[in-house]
A and B are shown apart, each in its own frame.
Chain A
Amino acid sequence: MDMPPPNPAILARKSELVARLHRALPSDAVISDPAETRVYECDALTAYKCAPMAVVLPGSTQEVAEALRICHEMSVPVVPRGAGTSLAGGALPSADSVILGVARLTEVLETDYENRFIRVQTGRTNLSVTGAVETEGFFYAPDPSSQLACAIAGNIAMNSGGAHCLKYGVTTNNLMGVTMVLMDGTVIELGGAHLDAAGYDLLGLICGSEGQLGVVTEATLRILHKPEGARPVLIGFDSNEVAGHCVSDIIKAGVLPVAIEFMDRPCIRACEAFAGAGYPDCEALLIVEVEGSDAEIDEQLETIIEIARAHDPVELRQSNSAEESARIWLGRKSAFGAMGQINDYMCLDGTIPVSQLPHVLKRIGEMSGEFGLDVANVFHAGDGNMHPLILFDANKPGDLERCEAFGAAILKLCVEVGGCLTGEHGVGIEKRDLMIDQYAPEDLEIQMAVKDVFDPGWLLNPAKVFPLQSSAARRDAAA
């Protein structure tokens, strides 16, 4: 994965830039000592590292606007950063860039239970949004697995999902409004406490734009009352194909579970060895969770179990209590930790049409042999969002490259069967060069034209999302 070489003309302006930023912002909001900027050299895609020229940590929308205005005037690229949990390199700096972190913007600005929204600064973590409303019985629905650490700003930039989006949708379906700062320092408001913003759906457009169109400093988020309860059923099968059919039949039957999680044998074994959740040793496991009152849950689980029985499961375990639910979820929730104990791994994020599941799993198994690397599959089956985990050894020369090639082959397969490169992690640098496998040149051109409108100088997170070759002319014109 290449990053464009830093522009020496920009590097030469560092001291002037830092001086101007210091004049405009509180002294502790600007970091330029190389020992300290190192902290920001990567996000959760740790294979790639590069310290930025400087880091700014503004404490208000106004300070964000000031910082952007200065960088704009001096033609310095800016890489916005939430909590730095991106698995796609979305917050990876370049040596000639300024990292603009929202970590100090953590306030809750307004909670309104009557109208069912919360307004927060976007440096706040995903889980602490729910934390701010749960005493009243409410929650914020999107729940990416990094929710303890990840910031709302990053959730908006990547349009994050989670395990429960089959029922509740992803970030874009729960985002009602934003305060956003454009690259030239202009502050705009989109949407608010009402539904469906006026004019073009710019709110929908900026959600998932990976920090390339503006820096979101405040967000109005939809909150919901928690369900009365939720309980899963664990279903084991001796074939991936049968498990896939079972998912499809559950959906067709008109039950809408809040989550359908799928694990294959390598994943089941790893989780079992790590967490001892009592999973059967079988080819495929489904965890299907439904919500409601006790009686409503029983009624839905009964329907699901009846469907599952028709597919000859090797294991069927209905949860009847909170303890049993926790035990069923224990293995699944420790999947990533379990994998990390075995080896280094790369987590992919392609999405496929649910009907293609058996075919794709079979092909991934075959490719695992071809590339000589093990892979375990865990994913959100209800919406087709796969997370193959490829195991490799970072200390072994050539392993990372082989792993990346294997990953690219899997993602191309996702596109080939009618799916896409990324369901919830974003493109970043990781999948940037695969975009040509999903989109024709004119499809990419019009997306870049959108960036031209919001950020004509291509200063915001410029070397991401689009293949470097496609965006070269625009980035060069800016420099």
Chain B
Amino acid sequence: MKTMEPESEAELAAILAGAEAPFRVQGGGTRPVGGARDGVPLTTRRLSGITLYEPGALTMVARAGTPLAEIEATLAAEGQRLAFEPMDHRGLLGTSGEPTIGGVFAANVSGSRRIQVGAARDFLLGVRFVDGRGQVIRNGGRVMKNVTGYDLVKLMAGSFGTLGVLTELSFKVLPGAKSAGTVEITGQDDASAITALSRALASPFEVSGAAHLPGGGDGPARTLIRLEGSQASVAYRAGRLQEALAQFGDLGFDHDGEAVAGIWRDLRDLRRFHGRDGDVWRLSVKPSDAPGIVAALPGAEAIYDWGGGLVWLLVPRGTAPAKIRTPLAETGGHATRIRGEAGGGTFQPLPAPVAALQEGLRRKFDPRGLLNPGLMDGPAQMASD
């Protein structure tokens, strides 16, 4: 099927206004969450380019199809970065192509630093998008504080192109760190590792990453705590954390810039799961519930991030969604299948009144059901589970 590649917002609006059949909306196509679906491929790839960058105001505006790599390079030249550290899904999902900034926000992709600075949605300041009726809509702006009308910016973040096709985004950026270090504990079981991470996160020492890699074939368990800032500040806080966590054994401290960057990049991109067979699930839970949830799923291999609040699971191919979600019924939280066969159950089923609101919004934004039908589909999802 021929891919639609509009080169302007106006062309995109005309396509949607005149459309009769559904579309499969994508940016760079590197994060096909929910598996293959019907519809004409519609990409924002050609809506590309940074339109405004003010380093002194910590803001950037870019068209949705702008490659993430271009944005990161432009920011790095000014010593700034996307602080929410979006994951690169290509290694995990075996996709190729260029991730786009629109895709990052449409999927609300946030990495380890989310625990400190917030998610992608917290950095998104303004959007332009074309809704399912072909109308160009603007919401938010390019300033950090804005309560003018409803916050459709947050609604669009993480809506996977089901409410509109993003065309331009303005977002907050932050200064990069002058240096970084990792405090490391080895050999902890999951429960005590999460306890240690909780203690670090409940300290005044501004932890910017808190992860746990359980032991396995390639060595003992590693519990990792990242600190960023000036060298003196990182060294000081590492020392204080080593004191505070002394009961967990000898704590290592690595402040070699490249090694620290490497270990957190591997964690962000789930390198441990690359090339391994099985489905991959992403769970968002209350941190202290995480070890129990993982223990209730024999055969699942876990990686913990966000101090335990984010759990990545590698499970046998075709594992039933209900099996993953059963423990969550007790604890709260939600699970999304990031890799696996297409079909129902990718997204967490919602309680009926919330699903009704979601469906109601969808009908308003896309009354003809043109945008990614079947994706994030509340009630239908429940039926197929």
Contact = CB atoms under 8 A, between A and B. Distances in A.
Contacts of A280: none
Given A296-B236, A450-B150, A113 B202 contact: yes
A115 B288 contact: yes
A389 B287 CA distance: 45
Interface residues of B, number: 82
A446 interface: yes
A209 B146 contact: no
B152 interface: yes
Nearest to A171: B147
Contacts of A440: 138
Contacts of B378: 199
A24 interface: no
A422 B150 CA distance: 12
Contacts of B287: 114-115
B353 interface: yes
Contacts of A226: 204
A296 B57 CA distance: 24
Interface in A156-177: 158-159, 161, 165-166, 169-170, 172-173
Contact of A204 (B121, B203, B347, B361): B121
Interface of B: 54-59, 78-79, 108, 110, 114, 118-119, 121-122, 131, 135-139, 141-155, 157-159, 163, 174-176, 178, 195, 198, 201-204, 229-230, 232-233, 236, 284-288, 306, 309-310, 332-334, 336, 347-348, 350-351, 353-355, 357-358, 360-361, 364-365, 376, 378
The interface centre, meaning the residue of A192, A225, A450, A454 with most chain B CB atoms within 10 A of its CB, is A450
B154 A201 contact: yes
A119 B309 CA distance: 17
A158 B147 contact: yes
Contacts, number: 252
Q: Which of B57, B79, B114, B122 lies at the interface centre, i.e. has the most chain A CB atoms within 10 A of its CB?
A: B57
Given A114-B202, A295-B232, A423 B146 contact: yes
Nearest to A292: B233
A209 B150 contact: yes
Contact of A165 (B108, B145, B163, B354): B145
Contact of B155 (A173, A195, A204): A204
User: Number of contact residues on A: which range applies?
Assistant: 35 or more
Interface in A201-227: 201-205, 207-209, 225-227
B175 A204 contact: no
Contacts of B154: 172, 201, 203-205, 207
A299 B145 contact: no
A200 B159 contact: yes
Interface of A: 113-116, 137-138, 158-159, 161, 165-166, 169-170, 172-173, 182, 186, 188-190, 192-205, 207-209, 225-228, 247-249, 251-256, 292-293, 295-296, 299, 351-355, 380, 383-385, 418-427, 431, 435, 438-440, 442-444, 446-447, 449-454, 465
Contacts of B146: 351, 420, 422-423
Contact of A453 (B79, B174, B360): B360
B143 A205 contact: no
A427 B178 CA distance: 40
Nearest to B229: A296
B136 A442 contact: yes
B138 A443 contact: yes
B155 A201 contact: yes
Nearest to A204: B154
Query: 4 smallest A-B Cβ distances: which pairs?
Result: A204-B154, A248-B56, A423-B145, A198-B334
